Amino acid sequence: MEKDQLIEQLFAVGAHFGYAPSRRQPSMARFIYGAKGGTELFDLEKTAACLEDALAYVKKLASERKTILFVGGKAEARGAVKRTAERLNLPFVASRWIGGTLTNFSEIKRRLGRLTDLTTMRETGELAKFTKRERLLIDRDIVDLEAMFGGLKGMTKLPDALMIVDSRAEEGAAKEAKLFNIPVIALMNSDCDRSLVTYPIPANDASLQSIAFVLDAIAQTYLDNLGPLAPAPTPAEVHEAKA
C-alpha cells in the first residue's frame, strides 16, 4: 500500500486524534503534529511509518509461524481483539490482565490444564458420577476459568510477541513482556509510555474504527505471510524430548 493511501485511511478512521496536551506522556511528543480545539493531533506520516514497521515485523513472525498474544481489555478493544485473535487462531486476553500471566506462566498452564480437564469431563458425561452440588461447583469453576483464561487455551509456551491495544491500560502486560525481552507491538495514544513498546503505532486507541483498522491490517499481514507448517516430530524426537 502506498504511503499517501495509508495516511488517507488512517485519517478516515480518526487515527489522528490524541488527548489533551495535559495528558501527554513526554515520550510521545515526537509523534505529535499539533493541537486543535484542545486535542492533540498525531502526525499521520509518522504513524504510517510506524505502522509499516510493525507490519514488517508481523510479516516476519508469520513467515516463521510465531505466536502473537493479543491483549486489550478495555471496552472499546475487547471485541476487536477477540475477533482478530480467533481469526488467526492465536491466543488473546480480552478482559482484565491477570498479573503473572507471563511471569508465572507455569501456574497459568496448570489452570489451563484444569480448564481442559473439566471441560472434557463435562463433554464426555463423566460429571454424572458427581453429586448435583459437586456438578454445580464444577460448572462454576469452568465458567470462572473460561472468563479468566479462555483466550489462552492452546498456549503451551510464552508468546513470541504481544500485540497490545492501549499500552497504558495494559501496562502490566507490557512490563511483564519486557522482563522476558518479548517484543511488544502496541496501538498507543498520547498518554502511553513509549519506552515499554518495541513497535509503537502512535494513534487513537479509544476509537472502535481506529482499533479495528490497525488490527485488521495486522491480521491480514499475518495471514498473507504464513510460513509452512513445521513437520510433525518423529517418534525418536518425541522420545528425546521426554528424556
pLDDT of residue 237: 59
d(CA 219, CA 59): 10
Tens of pLDDT, residues 1-52? 688 899 999 999 999 999 999 999 999 999 999 999 999 999 999 999 999 9
Tens of pLDDT, residues 148-207? 899 998 899 999 999 999 999 999 999 999 999 999 999 999 999 999 999 999 999 999
- Write out the three cell numbers for 109: 498452564
**In the chain, what are the domain boundaries?**
3-99+158-224, 105-152
Tens of pLDDT, residues 127-155? 888 888 988 998 898 888 888 899 998 89
Q: Which CATH class is domain 105-152?
A: mainly alpha
The predicted model gives 227-232 an average pLDDT of: 74
pLDDT of residue 148: 87
- CATH label, 3-99+158-224, candidates 2.60.40.10, 3.40.920.10, 3.10.20.600, 3.40.50.10490: 3.40.50.10490
The predicted model gives 65-81 an average pLDDT of: 97
Query: Is pLDDT above 90 for 233?
Result: no
d(CA 107, CA 152): 13
d(CA 212, CA 209): 5
d(CA 117, CA 97): 23
d(CA 67, CA 140): 30
Query: Is pLDDT above 70 for 232?
Result: no
- Residue of higher predicted confidence among 129 and 66: 66
